[in-house]
Amino acid sequence: MSPEISELIAAARRVQGEFSLTADFVAGGIGAAVRGRSGRIYTGVCLDVACGIGFCAEHAAVAEMLKNRESEIEAIVAVDGNGVLAPCGRCRELMAQINGENLKSHVVLSEERVVILRDLLPEHWLTTVERA
Protein backbone atom coordinates (compact mmCIF):
# COMPACT_ATOMS: atom_id res chain seq x y z
CA MET A 1 0.00 0.00 0.00
CA SER A 2 1.33 3.43 -0.91
CA PRO A 3 2.09 5.97 1.82
CA GLU A 4 -0.56 8.28 0.34
CA ILE A 5 -3.28 5.61 0.66
CA SER A 6 -2.10 4.71 4.18
CA GLU A 7 -2.33 8.38 5.16
CA LEU A 8 -5.84 8.65 3.73
CA ILE A 9 -7.05 5.52 5.54
CA ALA A 10 -5.51 6.78 8.80
CA ALA A 11 -7.32 10.13 8.42
CA ALA A 12 -10.66 8.33 7.93
CA ARG A 13 -10.00 6.09 10.94
CA ARG A 14 -9.28 9.13 13.14
CA VAL A 15 -12.81 10.51 12.63
CA GLN A 16 -14.65 7.16 12.58
CA GLY A 17 -16.30 6.05 15.80
CA GLU A 18 -20.02 5.73 16.38
CA PHE A 19 -21.67 7.97 18.95
CA SER A 20 -25.29 8.35 20.04
CA LEU A 21 -27.55 11.23 19.17
CA THR A 22 -31.18 11.45 20.30
CA ALA A 23 -33.49 8.43 20.47
CA ASP A 24 -32.15 5.61 18.26
CA PHE A 25 -30.01 7.79 16.04
CA VAL A 26 -26.23 7.68 15.68
CA ALA A 27 -23.39 9.29 13.81
CA GLY A 28 -19.79 8.44 13.08
CA GLY A 29 -20.13 4.72 12.41
CA ILE A 30 -18.35 5.35 9.11
CA GLY A 31 -15.57 7.85 8.55
CA ALA A 32 -14.30 9.06 5.20
CA ALA A 33 -11.31 10.96 3.90
CA VAL A 34 -10.92 12.72 0.57
CA ARG A 35 -7.65 14.02 -0.83
CA GLY A 36 -8.26 16.93 -3.14
CA ARG A 37 -6.03 17.54 -6.14
CA SER A 38 -4.37 20.22 -3.99
CA GLY A 39 -3.14 17.45 -1.68
CA ARG A 40 -5.25 18.64 1.23
CA ILE A 41 -7.23 15.96 3.10
CA TYR A 42 -10.86 16.50 4.11
CA THR A 43 -12.80 14.20 6.44
CA GLY A 44 -16.40 13.46 7.32
CA VAL A 45 -18.62 11.05 9.23
CA CYS A 46 -21.98 9.51 8.42
CA LEU A 47 -25.25 10.56 10.02
CA ASP A 48 -27.82 7.78 10.60
CA VAL A 49 -31.20 9.33 11.33
CA ALA A 50 -34.82 8.70 10.29
CA CYS A 51 -36.71 9.70 7.16
CA GLY A 52 -33.76 9.45 4.78
CA ILE A 53 -32.33 12.80 5.90
CA GLY A 54 -29.02 11.33 7.02
CA PHE A 55 -25.97 11.19 4.82
CA CYS A 56 -22.87 9.15 4.08
CA ALA A 57 -19.42 9.94 5.42
CA GLU A 58 -18.21 10.51 1.86
CA HIS A 59 -20.86 13.21 1.40
CA ALA A 60 -19.70 14.94 4.58
CA ALA A 61 -16.05 14.83 3.46
CA VAL A 62 -16.93 16.12 -0.01
CA ALA A 63 -18.97 18.95 1.57
CA GLU A 64 -15.92 19.91 3.64
CA MET A 65 -13.84 19.94 0.46
CA LEU A 66 -16.41 22.09 -1.36
CA LYS A 67 -16.52 24.49 1.58
CA ASN A 68 -12.85 25.09 0.82
CA ARG A 69 -13.67 25.75 -2.86
CA GLU A 70 -12.11 22.54 -4.12
CA SER A 71 -14.03 20.00 -6.22
CA GLU A 72 -11.46 17.75 -7.85
CA ILE A 73 -10.78 14.51 -5.95
CA GLU A 74 -7.42 12.75 -6.09
CA ALA A 75 -8.50 9.83 -3.86
CA ILE A 76 -11.27 8.84 -1.45
CA VAL A 77 -11.76 6.15 1.21
CA ALA A 78 -14.43 5.19 3.75
CA VAL A 79 -13.92 2.99 6.81
CA ASP A 80 -15.97 1.44 9.55
CA GLY A 81 -14.84 -0.51 12.61
CA ASN A 82 -14.07 -3.54 10.43
CA GLY A 83 -12.07 -1.94 7.62
CA VAL A 84 -12.40 -0.19 4.27
CA LEU A 85 -15.80 0.08 2.57
CA ALA A 86 -16.68 0.68 -1.07
CA PRO A 87 -18.70 3.86 -1.69
CA CYS A 88 -22.39 3.40 -2.37
CA GLY A 89 -23.90 4.38 -5.72
CA ARG A 90 -25.13 7.72 -4.38
CA CYS A 91 -21.61 8.64 -3.26
CA ARG A 92 -20.12 7.53 -6.58
CA GLU A 93 -22.63 9.68 -8.44
CA LEU A 94 -21.96 12.70 -6.20
CA MET A 95 -18.23 12.51 -6.90
CA ALA A 96 -18.85 12.34 -10.66
CA GLN A 97 -21.31 15.22 -10.68
CA ILE A 98 -19.30 17.76 -8.69
CA ASN A 99 -16.44 17.59 -11.20
CA GLY A 100 -16.29 15.45 -14.34
CA GLU A 101 -12.54 15.00 -13.80
CA ASN A 102 -13.43 12.95 -10.72
CA LEU A 103 -14.18 9.99 -12.99
CA LYS A 104 -10.36 9.66 -12.94
CA SER A 105 -10.22 9.73 -9.10
CA HIS A 106 -8.75 6.87 -7.10
CA VAL A 107 -11.28 4.99 -4.96
CA VAL A 108 -9.85 2.83 -2.20
CA LEU A 109 -11.82 -0.44 -2.03
CA SER A 110 -9.51 -2.24 0.41
CA GLU A 111 -6.05 -1.81 1.81
CA GLU A 112 -4.81 -3.76 -1.21
CA ARG A 113 -7.12 -2.48 -3.96
CA VAL A 114 -7.57 0.95 -5.51
CA VAL A 115 -9.62 1.57 -8.65
CA ILE A 116 -10.60 4.55 -10.77
CA LEU A 117 -14.12 5.93 -10.20
CA ARG A 118 -14.88 5.46 -13.92
CA ASP A 119 -14.45 1.69 -13.36
CA LEU A 120 -17.23 1.84 -10.76
CA LEU A 121 -19.45 3.87 -13.11
CA PRO A 122 -18.94 2.34 -16.57
CA GLU A 123 -20.63 4.19 -19.42
CA HIS A 124 -21.52 6.99 -17.05
CA TRP A 125 -24.21 9.31 -18.37
CA LEU A 126 -22.00 12.41 -17.97
CA THR A 127 -19.47 11.02 -20.44
CA THR A 128 -22.32 10.39 -22.89
CA VAL A 129 -23.49 14.00 -22.50
CA GLU A 130 -19.96 15.32 -22.99
CA ARG A 131 -19.60 13.39 -26.28
CA ALA A 132 -22.90 14.65 -27.67
Q: State residue 132's pLDDT score.
A: 45
Taking CA atoms, 72 is separated from 51, 94, 111, in Å, by: 30, 12, 22
**Rounded Cα distance, 6 and 126, in Å:** 31
**Rounded Cα distance, 77 and 40, in Å:** 14
Q: Which residues contact 2 (CB under 8 A, 6 or more apart)?
A: none
Beta carbons of 35 and 41 less than 8 angstroms apart: yes
Q: State residue 128's pLDDT score.
A: 60
39 phi-psi bin (left φ>0, alpha ψ -120 to 50, beta other): left
Global pTM reads 0.91
- Number of C-alpha atoms within 13 angstroms, CB side, residue 20? 3
The fold of 3-131 is: Cytidine Deaminase; domain 2 (3.40.140)
Beta strands in 65-105 (DSSP E): 73-80, 83-85
In tens digits, what is the pLDDT along the chain, a chain of 132 residues? 799 999 999 999 999 999 999 989 999 999 999 999 999 999 999 999 988 899 999 999 999 999 999 999 999 999 999 999 999 999 999 999 999 999 999 999 998 999 999 999 988 887 765 554
